[in-house]
Amino acid sequence: MTRFERSVWRRAWFHLAALCVAFVFAAPAFWVIMASLRPPGAPPSSAFDWLPESFEWSNYLRLFDLLPLERYLLNSMIVAALAVPLTVIVASWAGFAIAQLPEGMRNALIVCAIIVRMTPITALWLPRFLVLNELRLIDTYAALLTPVWMGSSPLFVLIFYWSFRRVPTEVIESARLDGLGALSVWSRIAMPLARPATGAVSVLTFVQYWSDFINPLLYLKSESRYTLPVGLRILQQMDITNWSLLMAGATIMTAPIIVLFIVAQRAFWAEEQGWSARRLGMKDER
């Protein structure tokens, strides 16, 4: 193959370097889980150790006593469960239309999407608050879900656009000659061919709403509506020194995302490289 791979030594060096890198990036995750299992209240160890003296799985249950954590979990689930299908619909409709429109129009829309993607979100906190306040949407889930109106992120629209571009024109033309309208072409021809894009957008949308801290912080008031990230913030304010419980909270918050990525991994890597090859592919927090 290439020069780089010719010798066994080079391969050994590669694995050594890559293992060091992987260790630096992944080891803290292991520490966090171990720290979440330390007995709470016990004096923290003053020397570095890999495993706790005893595994206190009850830390996770104690979190539910301290906080209405099941409520926060449910709220986060509700928001994410509503956001994913709505985002897929809006983003795929827009992506489908962009793919079918004449070239001038299409390029204008793509440039517009990229510019919107580059807008600092900080610039929108305040005026969005004022608009939501006018619409009496402060302290509702709707306030958290407003971004679905624009497909959650212009990136998702572009992902669908790139995916639909790969559908051969003849397939769509013949469907149209059969008398199908745009909505039917979208649902019967385009969407079934864009399953990987739908999967990837669903995963990214879930992550976006599940991790969202700023919107609930700004737009929610009643504690019964809080989502998990705000709950974690409350846990921190309750007792900042109780590290085992804080790390347990962080683990609960992160675990669903890790599971989701492992499940969707294959599709995700292949797809993401596809889009990023077209120069975009970064996380968004809109």
- Minimum CB separation of residue 277 from another protein in Å reads 4
Minimum separation from the CB atom of position 81 to another protein (A): 17
Question: Which segment (51-59, 63-71, 77-85, 145-153) binds another protein by CB under 8 A?
Answer: 145-153
- Which of residues 71 and 176 has its CB atom nearest to another protein in the complex? 176
Instruction: Note whether 28 binds another protein by CB under 8 A.
Output: yes
Q: Would you count residue 42 as binding another protein (CB under 8 A)?
A: no
How does DSSP assign the chain, residue by residue?
--GGGSSHHHHHHHHHHHHHHHHHHHHHHHHHHHHTTSPTTSPPPSS--SS-SS--THHHHHHHHHS-HHHHHHHHHHHHHHHHHHHHHHHHHHHHHHHHS-HHHHHHHHHHHHHHHHS-THHHHHHHHHHHHHTT-TTSHHHHHGGGGGTS-HHHHHHHHHHHHTS-HHHHHHHHHTT--HHHIIIIIIHHHTHHHHHHHHHHHHHHHHH--HHHHHH---GGG--HHHHHHHHHHH-TT-HHHHHHHHHHHHHHHHHHHHHHHHHHHHHHHHHHTTT-------
Q: Closest distance between another protein and the C-beta of residue 60, in Å?
A: 15
Which residues in 215-244 contact another protein (CB under 8 A)? 218, 229, 232-233, 236, 243
Q: Considering only residues 79, 157, 200, 201, which one is a binding residue for another protein as defined by CB under 8 A?
A: 157
CB of 174 to another protein, least distance (A): 14
Region 56-115 residues binding another protein, contact defined as CB under 8 A: 90-91, 93-94, 96-98, 100-101, 109, 112
Q: Is 8 among the residues that bind another protein (CB under 8 A)?
A: no
Shortest CB 204 distance to another protein, Å: 10
Q: Kindly state whether residue 174 participates in binding another protein, applying the rule CB under 8 A.
A: no
